[in-house]
Amino acid sequence: MSGSTGSIQTGKDPADLVYTDPLTGLGNQRRFVDKVERLKADRAEDPAPFTIGIIDLDGFKPINDLFGRRAGDHILMQVGMRLRAAMDQHSTVTRLGADEFAFLLPMTFSEQAAETQAQMLIEILSAPYDVGDRTARLSASVGCALYYGDQTAEDLISKAETALYHAKRSGRGKVVVYTHQMEEAAKRVTRIEQALRRAVAAGEVEPYFQPIVDLRTRETIGFETLARWTDDDLGVVPPSVFIPIAEERGIIGPLSQLVLRKATTAASSWPEQLFLSFNLSPSQLVDQNTGLHIRSILAETGFDSHRLEIEITETGMMTDPISAEKIVDDLRGVGIRISLDDFGTGQSSLGRLRDFHFDKLKIDRAFVASILEDRPSQHIIRAILAMCDGLGMEVVAEGIEEEAQVAKLLQFGCGGGQGYLFGRPVDEAATREYLRSSAVAAPRAHAG
């Protein structure tokens, strides 16, 4: 396939091929491990540390899809050449596979220096690439680890991988140097993941419900479902911790189905004019089974799809807009309404609001929290309200904790509200109690 580039290795010894990446002519993973082992042996008497790093190209797959595999291979060769040219006589760069490369810097002795070097590599890789008569741009993330004379090559590489994972998570084009706290954090995440898998299988994640009210009449118009989980050993784990872990480790689908099944079962006994709102994660808007799962749960619990609202965030819309749109259209087709959650804090794109119709928009708590003293927040809220009015979208302000905030929101013309002032999220039994003692909006003449 790419036999011609194999000849870069001067053809001395066929055994060399075992250590060579045929596409770029660089060493491969085996060569890398071998080099690290040898340097470790050299440093047995010399206490100086050294640095390794793993580079992962950001967004290489879309480039492959867009320009084709051959162009992708060509870019990888250019990446290889640039990296090789950037190494000094002591240093080595190899290709680990796909779009991952690794380097070994024997003369880089400190975390600071490692970061500087890696940053330089990122800059070198971010210059445009020739693809026929077009150009492509890439960025790269790097994870580094330093050897201090106390670990195996495997451990060292796995530390660089942990650092790379943190770099990837914090956005494109970042360098992260491994620290001990990272390992502790990684262990904790794994513990939570395992406990969560068990809890989901045992049906132990519960829906809580928080009222959403009509600010003018103070009547309850619906509830937002919020997942709650208490583990015997870990105690109460907040959703801000377990939801991201569920997303990352592929548990969000089953977790979400469990919570939706329980929530729609509970809500079936509420007055029928009340809606139930349910959050979907960005990763669920990439999974084409999501719509099917939701519809079959509704069929199973008998909950009217016209009473269900799905909350999605801007990030959810951005990850894969085409896929998200398909899922949303599918849901809307059976009468489910769609609201845009946490508006104003993500990568707000007004273009998205034009292309895409939402039934409702939820103003993020951050704006409501500062509505009383902060003029910019007031202006932003008023602008959002005017825009929603024009686009025919309902609005709910999140995180209302004080009467004075309600007064301001009413003055600006905001119709819906949610927050501790009206009620905290509570379990099914407490929700029934709440419904007995508080005003609920009158049944609607059949809306659609």
Q: Which residues contribute to the site for ligand C2E (CB under 6 A)?
A: 210, 225-227, 238-240, 243, 256, 259, 279-281, 311, 341-342, 365, 398-401, 418-420, 425
Q: Which residues contact 60 (CB under 8 A, 6 or more apart)?
A: 72, 75, 98, 99, 138
Hey, what are 322's tokens? 């085409």
341 contacts Mg ion (rule: CB under 5 A): yes
- Which residue, 163, 309, 324, is CA-closest to 224? 309
From residue 395 to residue 414, the character string flagging contacts with Mg ion as x (rule: CB under 5 A) and all else as - is ---x----------------
For Mg ion, which stretch binds (CB under 5 A), given 1-9, 212-220, 392-400, 404-412?
A: 392-400
Query: Phi and psi for 141 in degrees, rounded to 5?
Result: -115, 145
Q: What is the closest distance, in whole angstroms, from the C-beta atom of residue 228 to Mg ion in the complex?
A: 14
Q: What are the residues whose beta carbons fall under 8 Å from the beta carbon of 400, sequence distance 6 or more? A: 368, 406, 409, 417, 418, 419, 420, 421, 422
Please give the structure tokens belonging to residue 84: 């090789």
Query: With binding defined as CB under 5 A, does residue 279 bind Mg ion?
Result: yes
Residue 36 contact, options ligand C2E, Mg ion, none, Cβ 5-8 Å cut-off depending on partner type:
none
In the complex with ligand C2E, which residue's Cβ is closer, 32 or 208?
Answer: 208
Q: Is 398 considered catalytic here?
A: yes
Sole residue written with tokens 């099917």: 292
Stretch that binds Mg ion, among 76-84, 100-108, 231-239, 279-287 (CB under 5 A): 279-287
Smallest separation (angstroms) from ligand C2E to the CB of 148: 39
- Which member of 206, 398, 401, 403 is catalytic? 398
377 binds, among Mg ion, ligand C2E, none (CB under 5 to 8 A by kind): none
Q: CB-wise, 26 or 205, nearer to ligand C2E?
A: 205
Q: Judge contact between 49 and 148, C-beta under 8 A.
A: yes
Cα dihedral 236→238→244→249 (10° resolution):
10
Task: Select the binding partner of residue 56 from ligand C2E, Mg ion, none (C-beta < 5 to 8 A, by kind).
Answer: none
* Segment 342 to 361, residues that bind Mg ion, using CB under 5 A: 342
Q: Which residue is nearest to ligand C2E (CB)?
A: 419
311 interacts with Mg ion by CB under 5 A: yes
Task: Report, in Å, the least distance between residue 242 CB and ligand C2E.
Answer: 9
Report strand pairing: 100-105 vs 129-131: unpaired
Minimal distance, residue 153 CB to ligand C2E, in Å: 39
Strands (E) in 85-205, as ranges, are 92-97, 100-105, 129-131, 134-136, 139-147, 175-177
Q: Give min distance, CB of 108 to ligand C2E, in A.
A: 41
Q: How far is the CB of 224 from ligand C2E (least distance, A)?
A: 6
The smaller minimum CB distance to ligand C2E, of residues 95 and 365, is found at: 365
**148 touches which of Mg ion, ligand C2E, none (CB within 5 to 8 A by kind)?**
none
Is residue 371 packed enough to be buried (19+ CB in 10 Å), middle (13-18) or exposed (0-12)?
buried
Q: How far is the CB of 436 from ligand C2E (least distance, A)?
A: 22
Q: Is 309 in the site for Mg ion (CB under 5 A)?
A: no
| 192-196: Cβ within 8 A, 24+ apart | 192/234, 192/237, 192/241, 192/242, 192/245, 193/245, 193/249, 193/251, 195/231, 195/233, 195/234, 196/229, 196/231, 196/237, 196/242, 196/245, 196/246, 196/251, 196/255
Task: For ligand C2E, give the closer residue by CB, 35 or 261.
Answer: 261
Helix or strand holding residue 228 (H, E): strand 220-231
Q: Which of 27, 23, 16, 183 is nearest to 103 (CA)?
A: 27
Cβ proximity of 129 and 78 under 8 Å: yes
Closer CB to ligand C2E, residue 177 or residue 294?
294
- Binding residue count for Mg ion, defined by CB under 5 A: 5
Nearer to ligand C2E, 80 or 211 (CB): 211
Binding site for Mg ion (CB under 5 A): 279, 311, 341-342, 398
Residues with catalytic annotation?
Answer: 398
